Copies of this chain bind each other. A is one copy, B any other.
Amino acid sequence: MKNSSDSTVIDVPPTAATSKKKAVVSTTPRQAGGGVKRGLSIFDFILRLGALGAALGAAAAMGTSDETLPFFTQFFQFEASYDDLPTFQFFLIAMGIVGGYLVLSLPFSIVCIVRPGAVGIRLLLLILDTVVLTLATSAAAAAAAIVYLAHDGNSSTNWLAICDQFGDFCQKVSGAVIGAFIAALLMMFLILLSAFGIRNSH
């Protein structure tokens, strides 16, 4: 008990904000906490790359989902595309924004690896991650609701399933939704990582 009450006086290393020159010199004493923080930052960077890949994959799958049936009448050709459903258009735009944000956030993540004490950048990333997570989740969930309807239809409202006719279209769109959910899941982990990173900084 004596020990733990003594240890409340801690020699806190200078943060990057207070004195930048000293921070470069005194890297050795804070190796213990810095190693954990640097590990968290590297993991953050890898997760960000994974989420970026998932988001771009989802956007690509949705953007190329276009099926034309091999039969047609004189006046009409049967075609299904993401263009036909506003929810899928929203999905494509949202995934584009998510992917763009993730690309732009990569340099900040690298700064966190190089300078583990930068709490301000972590906080900024956490706030923006939360906003973009909400966007990715809503796009994925809205598209999932429509994909479910396309697969199973609904007898009460007389909405018939279209996946019997447009099988390839449905498969591609379903894949896009799964990709979006994976991206959202990875971004949830990113937020938790950022929170631990901020908590570890004191």
Contact = CB atoms under 8 A, between A and B. Distances in A.
Contact of A123 (B86, B130, B199): B199
Given A150-B157, A198-B198, 16 more contacts: A4-B14, A8-B13, A9-B11, A9-B12, A10-B10, A80-B157, A123-B195, A127-B192, A134-B184, A137-B141, A142-B142, A142-B144, A158-B160, A191-B191, A194-B195, A201-B202
A176 to B, nearest CB: 14
A102 interface: no
Of A11, A13, A126, A158, most buried by chain B (CB within 10 Å of CB) is: A126
Interface in A146-202: 146, 148-150, 154, 156-160, 162, 184, 188, 191-192, 194-196, 198-199, 201-202
A19 interface: yes
Contacts of A4: 14, 18-19
A85 interface: yes
Nearest to A155: B84
A184 B131 CA distance: 11
A21 to B, nearest CB: 9
A140 to B, nearest CB: 7
A145 interface: yes
A24 interface: no
15 contacts: A4-B14, A5-B14, A80-B157, A84-B154, A123-B195, A123-B199, A131-B188, A133-B134, A138-B141, A141-B142, A143-B145, A157-B162, A159-B159, A195-B195, A198-B198
